[in-house]
Each structure stands twice: as structure tokens, then as C-alpha cells.
């Protein structure tokens, strides 16, 4: 027996995706998590995937990389205590010739979630001892399945869906596509 959902329910889970028009209008860290992030990390030296407006309003990291600077592919090492909430929408695919990720709202068949690509960069910087402590907040469950080394670090899963903040309008939503996960690495 095949269960057929009415169109209103079938597409309801994609409603949140309609708020994302480009890669720089993604969701931001839930405000209720900020005190916990500060309690664990203290002052935050780097947020490699944010916007100036979001950083000024919420996290207040000492150094940031915006989508224009492309913190994922930047050649400079990430340094210091790091917090990041990678893009929740879009895909990343590795370009062997350039040695960088191609990041966009759509990508090829060998693409993965942006959270996986950002985690792999964070892990590399941590192993190089450039990042002594970090928290990565992500809402993509695909990362847990496709990036097995993520299980080598502490994982926190909230009991209830967080209030995400839209990056362009700063409106709140409790309807993200997937649940949140947090990765912590302490040196």
C-alpha cells in the first residue's frame, strides 16, 4: 500500500527552503544557543562562514569570513577558537584540478552537503593545531551518514527544534528542514 499525501502536506517540509534565495541569505545560529556557545568557548576568534551583519548582531567573533571571502576555500589557515554554522542549503563538490570546493545552490551528482565540506576543513585545521577548540552547529543530518569521522568527536542533538534566524530578514522560524547537531572539539 502506498500512502499518498495531499500536496499541502507533501511539500510542507520544504516551506523553510523557500526563504533562501541565495547563499548569503541562509539561516543563522539560534539565539537561545549563544549563552551555551560562549560558556563552552569563551571569546570566539573566528567564524569562517557568516556575514558582517550577522556577526555584528549575534555572535561577535573577532575575525570572520563572509561568502565573498569564501572561508571554506581560503588559503589562509583558520586560527584560534572557532565557531561555525555552515550553510544549510546548497551542495558542495570537490574540484580536483583547482583543489577547492564548488559551492552553490545546485551541484553535480558527486556533491555533498555543505556541512560535510565545512566539517572536513574544520577537522583539518584542528589536526594542524590551528584551531584549539571549536563548535560546529549544523542542521543537515546527511553529514552524520556520509561523514563517518564526525563520530570521532562529541555530538549533541537537541530535544526540540531550535528557533533559527533567517539571514536576510532576521525573522525566526521553528521549521528547519532537519534537526540540529553540534560538534565540539577540545584540544
Q: What CATH number is given to the structural domain containing 130?
A: 3.40.50
pLDDT tens sequence across 153-163: 998 888 777 77
Containing structural domain, residue 149: 25-186
Q: Identify the band that residue 25 occupies on the pLDDT scale cut at 50, 70 and 90.
A: low
| 10 assigned to some structural domain | no
Taking the CB of residue 15, how many other CB atoms lie within 10 A of it?
Answer: 11
Residue 63 exposed, middle or buried by CB count within 10 Å (0-12, 13-18, 19+): middle
| 18 assigned to some structural domain | no
| 13 assigned to some structural domain | no
| 40 assigned to some structural domain | yes
CB 119 within 8 A of CB 150: yes
What are the CA-CA distances from residue 141 to residues 137, 182, 183 (Å)?
11, 11, 12
| 16 assigned to some structural domain | no
| 19 assigned to some structural domain | no
CB 113 within 8 A of CB 163: no
pTM: 0.73
Beta bridge partners of residue 83, listed in sequence order: 135
| 7 assigned to some structural domain | no
Beta bridge partners of residue 156, listed in sequence order: 182
Residue 15: predicted pLDDT: 41
Residue 173: predicted pLDDT: 63
| 9 assigned to some structural domain | no
pLDDT for residue 53 is more than 90: no
Taking the CB of residue 109, how many other CB atoms lie within 10 A of it?
Answer: 6
Sign, CA torsion 69/82/44/174: positive
Residues in CB range of 18: below 8 A, 6 or more apart: none
Average pLDDT over the chain, rounded to an integer: 74
Q: Which helix (H) or strand (E) holds 144?
A: helix 142-146
Q: In total, how many domains does the chain have? A: 1
Amino acid at each position: 500500500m502506498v500512502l499518498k499525501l495531499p500536496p499541502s502536506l507533501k511539500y510542507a517540509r520544504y516551506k523553510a527552503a523557500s526563504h533562501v534565495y541565495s547563499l548569503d541569505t541562509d539561516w543563522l545560529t539560534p539565539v537561545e544557543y549563544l549563552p551555551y556557545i560562549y560558556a563552552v568557548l569563551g571569546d570566539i576568534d573566528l567564524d569562517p562562514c557568516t556575514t558582517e551583519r550577522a556577526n555584528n548582531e549575534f555572535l561577535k567573533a573577532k575575525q570572520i569570513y563572509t561568502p565573498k571571502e569564501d572561508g571554506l576555500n581560503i588559503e589562509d589557515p583558520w586560527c584560534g577558537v572557532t565557531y561555525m554554522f555552515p550553510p544549510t542549503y546548497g551542495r558542495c563538490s570537490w574540484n580536483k584540478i583547482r583543489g577547492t570546493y564548488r559551492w552553490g545552490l545546485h551541484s553535480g551528482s558527486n556533491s555533498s552537503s555543505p556541512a560535510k565540506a565545512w566539517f572536513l576543513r574544520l577537522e583539518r585545521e584542528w589536526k594542524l593545531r590551528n584551531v584549539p577548540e571549536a563548535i560546529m552547529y549544523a542542521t543537515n543530518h546527511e553529514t552524520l551518514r556520509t561523514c563517518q569521522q564526525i563520530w570521532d568527536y562529541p555530538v549533541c542533538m537537541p530535544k526540540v527544534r531550535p528557533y533559527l534566524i533567517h539571514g536576510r530578514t532576521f525573522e525566526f522560524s521553528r521549521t528547519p528542514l532537519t534537526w540540529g547537531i553540534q560538534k565540539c572539539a577540545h584540544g
